[in-house]
Structure 1
Amino acid sequence: MGVAGFDEEFDVVVVGSGAAGSAAALGAHHAGASVLVVEKCDEATAGGNTRVSGGGWWVNRDPERARAFLNSLSGAFPVADDVVAAWASETAENSRWLEELGADVALSPDYHTEPEYLELDGSDCYAGMDTVAGRMGNSLLYDFLRGALDERGIETRFGTPAVELITDGGAVVGVEVEGVEGRRRIGARGGVVLATGGFQANAAMVRDYLRVEDHVLWGSPASTGDGHRMAQSVGADLWHMGNMMTITGVRGDDEFGHYLALWNAHNYLWVSEDGRRFVDEAADPKHGHILRNGTYELFPLRPFHLIFDEQMRIAGPLSPTPDVLPVGWNLLMTENRWSLDNSDEIEKGWIRRADSIAELAELVGLDAATLEATVEQYNAACAAGSDDRFGRDPEKLGAVSQAPFYVLDVTPLLGWSNGGPRRDGRARVVDTRGVAIDGLYAAGEMSSTYSWTKDGGFHVADALAFGRVAGRDAAARA
């Protein structure tokens, strides 16, 4: 045994190997610290959501305007000034930092070329989204960071979940892990950085904090709130635990979902369990929010039905193929593919077919007369070129008129949770009195900066930025 009963000691111990954990380890190593990364998954599935994300980070061309933008995006849920200041300055350094590590950084030509929230004060700071080699997804960012750690001799222990923080006089001095040799106590002279991802794969936490009754996963099944539990056990406060991102999804054969993009045609409408339309179906999904009733609301929060016709069915796959959007656990890790003409999904029973709207209603237990009236009213709006009910874009009004007709159950596809241990601008976790817990840091999805809306490439940028901040600060403590 070593000092204080530790089996071994490092200056900084990082828990989690996604973008935040990798950035923390690289930042601490650059500052001269000895670093260990522990990761609960095996090497084939490690990396959390970073591994299956778009892997892009937004380009911040004006940190001062970025402060205004983040404050605008936070709306009625303000983020502390020191966090805003650190976020604005550090996200502006992401591309330069990655280039210095050897990454081929290039602007994405196709995705997030302008801000989603163009109307908000400060959006002029947004100059697109950088990626590795200018390409989205395909684990490119994760693979680069993995290589950067290996090149520098920074050890990552896979299959080694952290189970408990070790404290001494209120300060965090290490972490207990479970490995092939059983439990081990690892000391961290400078501190422990928690970068364990969100809690979207923890059904109880999803119900308790997000109030989402039914969902499927877009990202890593390892996002079970481990870091949240460990931080809470030593007195951490929590922030914006109800914020998240869901998008329209389809339940597959397991807990993972397919992204329902509906990019190929507009001959569809959405109905709730009463058989009626309830929202502008074509409203832009801005990373978990849509503009509705004059304000931004979380959407979707509950299942509903997609009604479409043969025109839509033959227009192309309802869920993007990997050559279009190589993102998500299904596409990148399990290689589940949506068929190009939607025929496989019909055969599986995911999509149900009928010769009339009345028959379609019977298939899903809806009132036939109500659904027929709903479709007739929608088609009338299409013919008039104006949706007076929900204001759907006239260019996206496509009649549902060509038999056969189809229905597909839509389930919220949960991408990530945003809330976690509250932290300050130095990425230090704070307790319920607002006092920093010595030696404990958090970064990435487990404690994201975003209290309400966010723009494209913001999560990866936040993870890289505060990962570096955490790693540097912990190294300095050592």
Structure 2
Amino acid sequence: MSKIDRRSFLKKAVAGALGTGAAVALAGCSNAGSTSTGASSTAEAIYTPGTYTASAKGYDSEVTVTVTFDETRITNVVVDSSGETANVGAAAADKLAEQVLSAQSSAIDGVTGATNTSKAVKAAVADCISQASGGAIVEGGDVSVQEEITVGGNTDWLGQAPEIAESEIAQTLQTEILVVGAGNAGLMTAAHAAALGAEVLVIEKGISSMNERHWLGAVGTKAAKEAGVEVDKNKLVAELCRYASHRCDERLIRLWADNSGEAIDWYAEQVQKYHPDVKLHMEWDVGEGGHDTYYVPATMHNFQDDIPEHDYSEATSSYGLSSLTQLLTDNNGQVMYETTLVKLEYDGARVTGAIAKAADGSYLRIEASKGVALCCGGYAYNKQMLATLNPDAYISTVEADASSLNTGDGIKAAMWIGADKDPDPTAMLFDRGVIAPDQLSDGNWDKSGYFHLGSQPWLKVNLNGERFCNESVPYDFILHAAYMEPHHLYNTIYDSSWAEQIEQFQQIGCARIIPSKSGGKLQIFSLEAEQGLLAGMEAAGFIQSSDTLEGLAEKLNLPVDAFVATVQRYNELCAKGVDEDFGKESSRMLPLQNPPYYGCRQGASLLCTLDGLRINTRMQVLNTVGEPIEGLYAAGDCSGGFFAHNYPEYIVGVAVGRTLTEGYLLGGYLAQA
């Protein structure tokens, strides 16, 4: 084992990677030039030589793979994942192609963080192999193999810290601050600390940073003041505590309320430093359009630019975390991608650093003189951990919009050395998961779709064809209500007037389709784009349609008589303008009377978990008796104390706002330590 400084190691790592890549390229050229005349003459022919193409659904798009064969082997692979997320699935194309060429098979490891793209490549390559072999060889095509998951109970999701022998540690790096995770919390922590002069190293197990969320929840920003928006902090804090049944740390909530303005203003300054045409926008007309039952404060911000082809989401994703990364590197900070936390190093008095695993499989010891900041998210994609700690969320979920990187690594590593965790499970669930009308929730998230319009307050019925709650509720509330219904599922029902009804609904946050009246461009998709999405989902069998209510009931596998009676009763109440059964606002009581009628079977779409490590207001991780573990910190979804049981979605952007604020403060504390 040798001990070198961080910068020297990174230079060697880059040089090594270039050398390896060159060797692979030369080997590939040599093989490609000799196989058809050499190997194929001595080995039995198994393929019909030629180039074959196949596609499969990835995360955002169809992923197309083109595979070239000679008689005995794969000679070239091209992966087109350009429609996937730019810095995730799209960036993984070359790596996935290399894996297929090396494995000579569709049975590849895939790229960490690009799970859905990797699955699509496996399926498409298996298709190409089947074509080239005349169907004789079919391998790796089933990308929906179910894990053995135990729901609830006392499963050992935590395990024990792995034992890593000293002889296995290839390098030791030294830094002042080690940040684990290059997402919202990690990059905010790292960039602020580096800007204040600290030496910072970030490790990230993905191939890149993930995109931030579009909504930045904050109070008292310059943008809010310019818009004349004032929020009663005490009322806001009280509402967040009420959502959590006060099973939270009110001091952490007040920390966000009191400091989010400063944190998001600083964030906006950094974005504008690198992108002068980008401005932080405040969305302030959130109270209009029927939300008279729930408290909806004006907290949501997003970045907008003047580039015509950019909608708000592209602007936010393009400029936010990329600016923090640039700020970090401009101040001599570093990010090591494809580097995974293995365990923390704790001497009984303080955390001194961590052991990590590099992309090549070697182990690194990273010594951090000022501390380790765990900013590596929750555990939404650790199915066993989710099914054990939050069985209701696991059972309700039919679709996952969660990052496959979120497997609870930081939470487990801290608990292995005595850290405490929130007692109450909390997941961010959206009413947008959709499955075929003959499916049930079974833990298989690969056979589902994302129904963005699921958050619109149309008629909802259970699998008995009956209405069961007020549809005009926060996103996850209807999912909680549906959990009490048969098979924990329900159906959304609407008609051909859907576009006009959406305009009347005037939703907020990520449910918004119609742009803000305050002059912003805030909408997820245009109505034209929504039409295309709906048509695609109907073609895929997720959305059903019929010119009659009876026909729709049959296609949705609902009892015909009960469903028709429910719709007739609903239309009667719409005509009265008063929801006598469930109290939905009259402005949202819009009848079903313009065929064709549409419907789909729904469950939860899981974004992330929110129960994490217990921390104090300096983001120090606490042990089981409430004492700080020296040298260990956490921020964002890896930390807890802020939410319990549900996510207050009508306080738009509070999750990422909390994350960025904690990261900003933590970066300042660590830099000054």
The TM-score, its normalising length taken from structure 1, stands at 0.82
Tell me which protein shows more helix as a share of its residues.
Answer: 2
Q: Percent identity?
A: 24
Aligned partner of residue 497 in structure 2, secondary structure: helix
**Among residues 270, 277, 281, which one is paired with 1:108 in the alignment?**
281
Contact 1:276-1:374 within 8 A present in 2 as well: yes
Structure 2 match to 1:137: 313
**Among residues 187, 190, 193, which one is paired with 1:25 in the alignment?**
190
Structure 2 match to 1:34: 199
CA distance in 1 between partners of 2:294 and 2:596 (Å): 43
CA distance in 2 between partners of 1:189 and 1:341 (Å): 51
CA distance in 1 between partners of 2:379 and 2:372 (Å): 19
CA distance in 2 between partners of 1:66 and 1:447 (Å): 22
Contact 2:282-2:301 within 8 A present in 1 as well: no
Range 1-10 or range 155-164, more displaced: 1-10
Range 242-251 or range 273-282, more displaced: 242-251
Structure 1 match to 2:233: 66
Contact 2:173-2:366 within 8 A present in 1 as well: yes
Deviation string, structure 1 residues 19-58 (Cα, Å, up to 9, x no partner): 2101111232234321100001002xx22xxx15114232
Structure 1 match to 2:248: 79
Structure 2 match to 1:8: 173
Q: Cα 1:224–1:136, aligned 2, differ >3 Å: closer, same or farther?
A: farther
Structure 2 match to 1:272: 462
Q: Cα 1:127–1:284, aligned 2, differ >3 Å: closer, same or farther?
A: closer
Structure 2 match to 1:156: 335
> In the alignment, residue 176 of structure 2 is paired with which amino acid?
D
> In the alignment, residue 95 of structure 1 is paired with which amino acid?
I
Deviation string, structure 1 residues 414-442 (Cα, Å, up to 9, x no partner): 22221100000000000111111111100
Q: Cα 1:85–1:415, aligned 2, differ >3 Å: closer, same or farther?
A: same
Structure 1 match to 2:611: 419
Deviation string, structure 1 residues 89-141 (Cα, Å, up to 9, x no partner): 321311332245353674535477569999899x8xx6543333477432132
Deviation at 1:283, TM superposition (A): 3.0
Contact 2:182-2:375 within 8 A present in 1 as well: yes
Deviation at 1:235, TM superposition (A): 1.2
Q: Cα 1:230–1:444, aligned 2, differ >3 Å: closer, same or farther?
A: same
Q: Cα 1:299–1:451, aligned 2, differ >3 Å: closer, same or farther?
A: farther
CA distance in 1 between partners of 2:282 and 2:533 (Å): 27
CA distance in 2 between partners of 1:24 and 1:108 (Å): 23
Q: Cα 1:54–1:167, aligned 2, differ >3 Å: closer, same or farther?
A: same
Structure 2 match to 1:91: 260
Deviation string, structure 1 residues 258-284 (Cα, Å, up to 9, x no partner): 2433688x7x41111221001122335
Deviation at 1:368, TM superposition (A): 1.5
CA distance in 1 between partners of 2:266 and 2:430 (Å): 31
1:175-214 to structure 2, matched below 5 A, reads 175-181=354-360, 182-210=362-390, 211-212=392-393, 213=395, 214=397
Deviation at 1:245, TM superposition (A): 2.2
**Among residues 380, 405, 422, which one is paired with 1:222 in the alignment?**
405
CA distance in 2 between partners of 1:120 and 1:306 (Å): 22
How much is the aligned-residue C-alpha RMSD, in angstroms?
3.7
Contact 1:258-1:319 within 8 A present in 2 as well: no
Structure 2 match to 1:293: none
CA distance in 2 between partners of 1:313 and 1:250 (Å): 20
> In the alignment, residue 309 of structure 1 is paired with which amino acid?
D
Contact 2:283-2:298 within 8 A present in 1 as well: no
Structure 2 match to 1:334: none
Larger-gyration structure (1/2): 2
Q: Cα 1:81–1:179, aligned 2, differ >3 Å: closer, same or farther?
A: same
1:48-59 to structure 2, matched below 5 A, reads 51-59=211-219
Contact 1:95-1:130 within 8 A present in 2 as well: no
> In the alignment, residue 466 of structure 1 is paired with which amino acid?
E
Structure 1 match to 2:472: 282
CA distance in 2 between partners of 1:352 and 1:394 (Å): 27
1:64-463 to structure 2, matched below 5 A, reads 66=233, 69-75=236-242, 76-80=245-249, 82-101=251-270, 103=272, 106-108=279-281, 110=283, 113=286, 128-133=299-304, 136-138=312-314, 139=317, 140-181=319-360, 182-210=362-390, 211-212=392-393, 213=395, 214-239=397-422, 241-251=424-434, 254=446, 257-261=449-453, 268-285=458-475, 288-289=476-477, 302-312=488-498, 339-340=531-532, 342-452=534-644, 454=648, 455-463=651-659
CA distance in 2 between partners of 1:246 and 1:411 (Å): 9
Range 226-235 or range 417-426, more displaced: 226-235
Deviation at 1:472, TM superposition (A): 3.1
CA distance in 2 between partners of 1:451 and 1:413 (Å): 18
Gaps of 5+ in 2: 5-165, 306-310, 436-444, 504-509, 516-520
Structure 1 match to 2:73: none
CA distance in 1 between partners of 2:340 and 2:493 (Å): 44
Aligned partner of residue 465 in structure 2, secondary structure: coil
**Among residues 658, 662, 665, which one is paired with 1:466 in the alignment?**
662
Contact 2:615-2:640 within 8 A present in 1 as well: no
CA distance in 2 between partners of 1:117 and 1:395 (Å): 10
Deviation at 1:191, TM superposition (A): 1.0
> In the alignment, residue 418 of structure 2 is paired with which amino acid?
G
Contact 1:217-1:255 within 8 A present in 2 as well: no
Aligned partner of residue 306 in structure 1, secondary structure: strand
Deviation at 1:242, TM superposition (A): 1.9
Q: Cα 1:410–1:377, aligned 2, differ >3 Å: closer, same or farther?
A: same
Aligned partner of residue 357 in structure 2, secondary structure: strand
Q: Cα 1:313–1:464, aligned 2, differ >3 Å: closer, same or farther?
A: closer
Tell me which protein shows more strand as a share of its residues.
Answer: 1
CA distance in 1 between partners of 2:448 and 2:321 (Å): 20
Contact 2:177-2:199 within 8 A present in 1 as well: yes
Q: Cα 1:110–1:219, aligned 2, differ >3 Å: closer, same or farther?
A: farther
Determine which structure has greater relative contact order: mean sequence separation of CA pairs < 8 Å that are 6+ residues apart, divided by chain length: 1
Equivalences, count: 451
> In the alignment, residue 192 of structure 2 is paired with which amino acid?
G
> In the alignment, residue 557 of structure 2 is paired with which amino acid?
G
The TM-score, its normalising length taken from structure 2, stands at 0.60
Deviation string, structure 1 residues 69-100 (Cα, Å, up to 9, x no partner): 22431122243354345333321311332245
